[in-house]
Structure 1
Amino acid sequence: MTGVDMPGVDMPGDDTIGGALVLGGAGFIGGHLLADLASRGVRPLISVDIADPERPVAGVDYRHGDVRRPFAEVVPESVERIYNLAAIHRTPGHPDHAYYETNVAGAVNACRYATLRGVPRILFTSSISVYGPREEPCGESAPLRPESAYGRSKALAEAVQEAWVEADPGRRRLAILRPAVVFGRGERGNFDRLLRQLRRRAFVFPGRRDTVKGCGYVGELVRAMAFCGTRDEPVYRANFAYPEPATIEAIARTVALEAGLSPPRLTIPTGAVMTAAFVLELLGGLGLRTGINRDRVRKLLVSTDARPDRLLADGYRFETDLAAGVRAWLDSLRTG
C-alpha cells in the first residue's frame, strides 16, 4: 500500500515512458502522480525534493535536491520526461521573493537539466492564478493578468519553459497544465479546512454564496496529466477544473452531504467577517494559529471560474464530477 490514490488510467502512449523525473515529488500532487507512474511500471522513477515524502511510494528513487539551484549532480541519469511540480504555492504565507526564487528558478533549472541530459519533454503544473481574479468564465485563450506574486511567478515560469521549447521546437515538447483548486488526501488546504469547519459546525459563508471556485479531484488531475503527456504540439496549454462551475455553496453542501454532516446555512456580512479575521490575525501574532486571515477571506469573495475548454475540445473525458471526486477523497480518508 502506498497511501495515495493510483488511478491506473490507460492513456494511449503515456504508459510507454522510459523514465521520469518528478520535481517536487514529496508534495501532495507529486505523491499521487508518482503512485500512478509506479503502477504503470515507469522506470527509472526519480523524485527530487527538499522534503521527505510522508507516504513513500514503492519503486520510487527519492533524492534530496533543491530546484532553486542546478541539480544535475543529484540526477546524473537521463530520463524521457520531467514533471515540474516543485513550487511555493500557499497564498498568503510567504514573502513575494520566495515565489520567484522557487517557481521561476525551478523552471530555469528544469530546463537546464533537460538541455544537459537531452530530455525531450516537460510537463509543468502552472496555476489558474496566471489569469488573475475575475468573475467571468476563463478559458485558455484569456489574457494573463496575474495580480499575486504566486501568479506572476507561475506566468514567468511558463515563459521560461516556452523559451526552452523555442530553442528546438522540432524535438522538444512542453505541456502546461493550469489547475484550479485541487483536493484529495494529503491536500491540507482549502478543502481540508472546509471539512474541519463543517465538522465543528463553524463554517459560515463570508458575504456571498455564489462565488465560483474551479476545482477538481487529484485523481482526475493525474488522469489529465497523463492525457497531456500524449499531446504532440510543441507547447500544449490546458486548464484543469471540472467543466460544471461550482459555487462555494455547492462545494460546501456537497462536502457536507458526502460526509454526513449538516450543510452550512449562515451568511455573515463581509464587513463582520473581515473584522473577525483581523482579530484572529492579531491573536495569531500571540501564538493562536487559526488559519483564518483577511487575505483568505478575500479569496472567497472573488470567483475563479476556470474552464477546461482545451481538454474537452481535444477529447478528454472526465471520470468524476464534484460529488464523485469528494466521495473518492472522503473514502481515501476512511480507508487510511
Structure 2
Amino acid sequence: MIKVIGGSGFIGTRLCKRLQEAEKEFAIVDKAVSKRFGDVCRVADVRDKKALEDVLENRDAIINLAAEHRDDVRPKSLYDEVNVDGAKNVCDVAEEKGINKIIFTSSVAIYGFAPPGTDESGEINYFNDYGRTKWAAEKIYKDWQAKDPEKRTLVIVRPTVVFGEQNRGNVYNLLKQIVSGKFVMIGNGKNLKSMAYVENVAAFLEYSIDAFRPGVHIFNYIDKPDFDMNTLVGTVNSKLGKSSGTKIRLPYVLGLAAGYGFDLIARITGKNFPVSSIRIKKFCATTQFDTSISKKTDFTPPIALHEGLERTIQYEFLEDNTSNDELFYTE
C-alpha cells in the first residue's frame, strides 16, 4: 500500500490520480479531506505521532508531501512543527512499523539564491525558514535510512517552482497579471527561471516508487529548457494572440523599494499583500537549476514544459472552468 502524506494538496492530488489510473493501491493521509479522493483519505496531522501510528502500517511505502511552505506562514514556529517535527514523527513511526521506503519532497529552496546550473551537489545556502526546515528534514530522513542501509530506500526529490492547472500560487498570479495586460516587468527580464509542470513532478514521484534499490537517492526536479522572463511573457501573449512584448518596465531598484514599502505597511496593518521585498527579489533573481535525473534514470517527463504552460493558460484563462471549485493555494 502506498500512503501519500499530504495527498490532498496540489501535487498529491495529481499523483493520486496517476496512481488510480495505474491501478496502484494507495491511501491519502492528510489533515484535510481530499475533495477528489475522500473515500481513501485518512485524517491525520504529521505533527501528531499517535495519529500517524493509527494510519501507517507495516510494508507501506510512504510519499511525504506535507509541508508548511508559504512566505507568510504565521506563527513561524509552524515551519519547524510541520517540516522538522513532522519528519521526525514520520521516521519514528516508519521505524516502529518496519516501513522501509520513504519518498520525501524537499525543495530547491535549500540552495537559496544559488549560482545558475546548481545541481544536487550544490552548496546549501537557504535564506528563509522554509529552506532551513526542508534541509533539517532531509537530515532526519537520512539518519532514518542510515540505521538500516541495506533494507531502507530513501528518495529525496527537490522540485523547483511547480505550476499547473487549478494552482493558485506565484506562477498563476504572474500569468494572471500578464493576461490582464497590467503586468509590469521589473528589471530587464533576462533572468532565467527553472520551472516544473505538476503532471511531470507527479509522474517522477510515481516512477520513484519502484525504480530505486535501498540507499539514498537525491534529485532536483526541473523541466527543461529554462525560460527567461521575457520568453515567458512572450509565450503567454502568443497563446492569447497578443503582441509578445512587455508594455511597462520598471528598474529593479524602484521595484525593490516598492516591495520594502509594502513590507512596512504589512507590519503596521497586519495585512498580507501580493507585493513584498522577498517576492520582488525572487521574481528578479535567476533561479536556474540542473538535475541528474536524465543521467541516472530512464525517466522521461510525459509533458513538455512548453505544453504544460500552454495547458495551464488554456485551462485557466481561455476556458470556463468556474464550476470546478477544487483549487490549491500555494506559493
Find the counterpart in structure 2 of residue 125 from structure 1.
105
Unpaired runs of at least 5, structure 1: 1-18
How many aligned residue pairs are there? 315
Residue 208 of structure 2 corresponds to residue 228 of structure 1: yes
Pick closer, same or farther for the CA change 1:157–1:311 going to 2, 3 Å: farther
Find the counterpart in structure 1 of residue 127 from structure 2.
147
Find the counterpart in structure 2 of residue 304 from structure 1.
287
Find the counterpart in structure 2 of residue 48 from structure 1.
29
Secondary structure, counterpart of 2:94 in structure 1: helix
Q: TM-score, normalising length from structure 2?
A: 0.87
Residue 184 of structure 2 corresponds to residue 204 of structure 1: yes
Find the counterpart in structure 2 of residue 266 from structure 1.
248
- How far is 1:286 from its partner? 5.0
- How far is 1:79 from its partner? 4.7
The answer on whether the counterparts of 2:149 and 2:214 sit within 8 Å (CA) in structure 1 is no
AA partner of residue 118 (structure 1): G
The answer on whether the counterparts of 2:224 and 2:305 sit within 8 Å (CA) in structure 1 is no
Residue 263 of structure 2 corresponds to residue 256 of structure 1: no
Residue 3 of structure 2 corresponds to residue 24 of structure 1: no
Residue 43 of structure 2 corresponds to residue 64 of structure 1: yes
Share of identical aligned residues, percent? 29
Pick closer, same or farther for the CA change 1:96–1:283 going to 2, 3 Å: closer
Stretch moving more, 106-115 or 94-103: 94-103
Stretch moving more, 76-85 or 163-172: 76-85
The answer on whether the counterparts of 1:182 and 1:218 sit within 8 Å (CA) in structure 2 is yes
The answer on whether the counterparts of 1:195 and 1:255 sit within 8 Å (CA) in structure 2 is yes
The answer on whether the counterparts of 1:123 and 1:176 sit within 8 Å (CA) in structure 2 is yes
The answer on whether the counterparts of 2:165 and 2:311 sit within 8 Å (CA) in structure 1 is no
AA partner of residue 152 (structure 1): R
Pick closer, same or farther for the CA change 1:76–1:145 going to 2, 3 Å: closer
Stretch moving more, 276-285 or 152-161: 276-285
The answer on whether the counterparts of 1:258 and 1:326 sit within 8 Å (CA) in structure 2 is no
Find the counterpart in structure 1 of residue 324 from structure 2.
none
- How far is 1:135 from its partner? 3.3
Task: Select the residue among 292, 305, 319 that pairs with 2:275.
Answer: 292
Unpaired runs of at least 5, structure 2: 322-331
Structure 1 residues 84-103: aligned runs within 5 Å: 84-103=64-83
Instruction: Give RMSD over aligned pairs.
Output: 2.2
Cα-to-partner distance string for 1:17-46 (whole Å, 9 max, x where unaligned)? xx1111111111111111111222222x22
Secondary structure, counterpart of 1:138 in structure 2: coil
- How far is 1:261 from its partner? 4.6
AA partner of residue 11 (structure 2): I
Pick closer, same or farther for the CA change 1:274–1:142 going to 2, 3 Å: closer
AA partner of residue 276 (structure 1): A
- How far is 1:94 from its partner? 4.0
Secondary structure, counterpart of 2:121 in structure 1: coil
- How far is 1:68 from its partner? 1.3
